A = this chain, B = another copy of it.
C-alpha cells in the first residue's frame, strides 16, 4: 500500500515532525484558502435548493440594500468586472427576482430593482445562510466569531488604504 515498510500515515507524521519549517500551515494565505473552500462548499450546500450561487446571492443582497443601483455600481461593490454582471443580472431577472428599469435622467444606465419575489427569496436564503453559518461556526464562541469577522474585514481595510 505505501512506499516503504511503514504505513502512509506513520510516515507522514514522522516527516512532519522532521520538517516543521517547510509546512504550508505556517502561511496565513494557505489557511485562508483552505478555510474559504470549506465555507464556500458549505454555502453551496445551504443554497442548493434555491438555485442561487454565491455571486447571485451577493448581487441580490446588494440590490436589496441599494434599490435602483446600477450594474456598474454593484460590480464595484462586489469587486468584480462589469462584464460579469450581465450574466448575473440576466439570471436574477430570468428568475423574476429583479427588473432592469431604464433611467430617464441617464439613458445609458438601467437601474436594478428587486421584485416582491426577489425580496422573499432573498430573505429566505439570507436566513438559510445565517443558520448554516451558525452551524458551521458552532464550535466558535461568540467572541471568536466577532474576532474572526473583525480580522477578515481588517485585511480588506489595509488593502483599500493602500489603493487610496
Are the C-beta atoms of A3 and B103 separated by less than 8 Å? Answer: yes
Are the C-beta atoms of B66 and A15 separated by less than 8 Å? Answer: yes
Instruction: State which residues 121-164 of A face B: CB under 8 Å.
Output: 126, 129-130, 133, 136-140, 144-145, 147-149, 151-159, 161
B39, B58, B105: the one within 8 Å of A32 (CB):
B39
Copies of this chain assembled into the complex: 2
Q: How far is the CA of A16 from the CA of B62 in the complex (A)?
A: 10
Q: A residues touching B (Cβ–Cβ < 8 Å)?
A: 1-4, 8, 11-12, 15-16, 19, 22-25, 27-40, 42-43, 54, 58, 61-62, 64-70, 73, 77, 79, 103, 105-106, 109, 111, 126, 129-130, 133, 136-140, 144-145, 147-149, 151-159, 161
